[in-house]
Amino acid sequence: MIYREYGNTGEKVSILGFGGMRFENPSDIAGSAEILLHALNSGINYFDTAPGYCGDKSEDIFGTAVKEMKKLDKNFYISTKSSQPDGSELRRQLENSLKRLNVDQIDFYNCWYVLTMEDWEGRKKGGAVEAILQAEKEGLIKYPVFSTHLPGSDIRKVIEENYFKGVTLGYSAINFPFREEGILAAGENNMGVVVMNPLGGGTITQNPDSFDFIRVRQSQNILDGALHFLMNNKNISVMLTGFRNKNDIDTAVATVDSFKPYTNVEVNKIKKHIENDFNNLCTTCMYCNVCPVDIPVWKFVETANGLYCDADGSLNDRLKYHWGTNISGLDSCTECRLCEDACTQHLPILERFEELKVAIGDQ
């Protein structure tokens, strides 16, 4: 296992993190807790959960595992979250998480799921940020952090307000242009970076032919290629992977153990391929952010990627939960095609809109 510094906290976290949102059989609390123990014994020390994950069973699974994990002579970190904008609601949720997780202190507590800058302002106004900082003073939280779906330039703004020690964000070979700026800002400000969705929601591994370019060496499989690409970024502290079972852990650990750093030329070749030659798919570069009626074009076109390659989850859920919008957001489109002129991938955006409407109507 490879361990990296989490920002300037002095904590050494495993590059592979345990994402507690994909248990195969979450109703089996004890059996699922054993998967965490297996991860800890395999060298993983960063464990991420949230209220609501796996039908709200995930924190209970973690709490059951934590009782056993404390008996082992091993260091580990627990991360959980609250998306409550209201300070007292957040505090109530935090106290509940502490009980469920069987800990006196949460190592990394995320101001969760910051979707837009208005949302971020709401977290401050509603008292959520203050409640997190107060809990840190009381020792209930060790490190306040935030998790976000914001574009990189907005992540930089939140980072530079200096409330947090780290950021949890979605990042993969597909969407790196969208968040790169946020990762750079975290590095410049000595903050930890936890990457969610390193496989692009399964899109990369489910479409090995389209993503074959990500393997720079013959010996790599597609999973190696996707994770090794991220591991080359020194600013990334942890890659969170949603483990279903012990076998998933063994596979991911083997991938991490086989990592050999790429040259700059190899990394840039992959980046250039994604930026210039990645036909058909939206890379969420956001160059289409030119809409005169303020339609967030990239949110719809990225969702429409699911029509061109296999991806997890419904398109509607992607729009709703990942992007915080819905298909009626396209109603104001005047078909001026300014977004198409700006698209780096030269995608037929209006066609994608129509395909998406039909597909969502059919789901």
What residues make contact with ligand SF4 under the rule CB under 6 A?
Answer: 282-288, 291, 293, 295, 297-298, 301, 333-339, 342-345, 347, 349-350
Which contacts qualify for 96-101: CB closer than 8 Å, 24 or more apart? 96/51, 97/51, 97/59, 98/140, 99/63, 100/59, 100/60, 100/62, 100/63, 101/49, 101/59, 101/62, 101/63, 101/66
- Name the minimum Å distance from CB 219 to ligand SF4: 31
- Identity of the residue, 32 or 175, whose beta carbon is nearer to ligand SF4 in the bound complex: 175
* Residue 278 beta carbon to ligand SF4: minimum distance, rounded to whole angstroms: 8
Smallest separation, CB 295 to ligand SF4 (Å):
4
φ, ψ of residue 113 to 5 degrees: the values are: 70, 45
Instruction: Rank residues 226 and 343 by Cβ distance to ligand SF4 and give the closer one.
Output: 343
* Cα 122–Cα 123–Cα 125 angle in degrees, nearest 5: 60
Q: Decide if 288 contacts 349 (C-beta within 8 A).
A: yes
78-116 exposure pattern, b = at least 16 Cβ within 10 A, e = fewer: bbbbbbbbbbebbbebbeebbebbbbebbbbbbbbbbbb
Based on CB atoms, which residue is closest to ligand SF4, 256 or 311?
A: 311
Least distance between ligand SF4 and beta carbon 346 (Å): 8
CB-wise, 173 or 295, nearer to ligand SF4?
A: 295
List residues bridging with 141 in a β-sheet: 106
The smaller minimum CB distance to ligand SF4, of residues 138 and 294, is found at 294
Tell the smallest beta-carbon distance from residue 329 to ligand SF4 (Å): 10
Residue 181 in contact with residue 225, Cβ under 8 Å? no
Query: Quick check: helix, strand or coil at residue 5?
Result: strand
* Nearer of residues 261 and 292 to ligand SF4, judged by Cβ: 292
Nearer to ligand SF4 among residue 159 and residue 339 (C-beta): 339
Residues in the chain: 363
Distance (Å) of CA 2 to CA 56, 256, 260, 293 = 31, 7, 11, 47
> Considering only CA atoms, which of 21, 19, 66, 15 is closest in space to residue 43?
15
Q: How far is the CB of 358 from ligand SF4 (least distance, A)?
A: 17
Q: How far is the CB of 216 from ligand SF4 (least distance, A)?
A: 23
∠ CA 283-324-123 to the nearest 5 degrees? 115
CB 202 within 8 A of CB 210: no
The minimum distance between CB 362 and ligand SF4, in angstroms, equals 22
Q: Which is nearer to ligand SF4, 43 or 348 (CB)?
A: 348
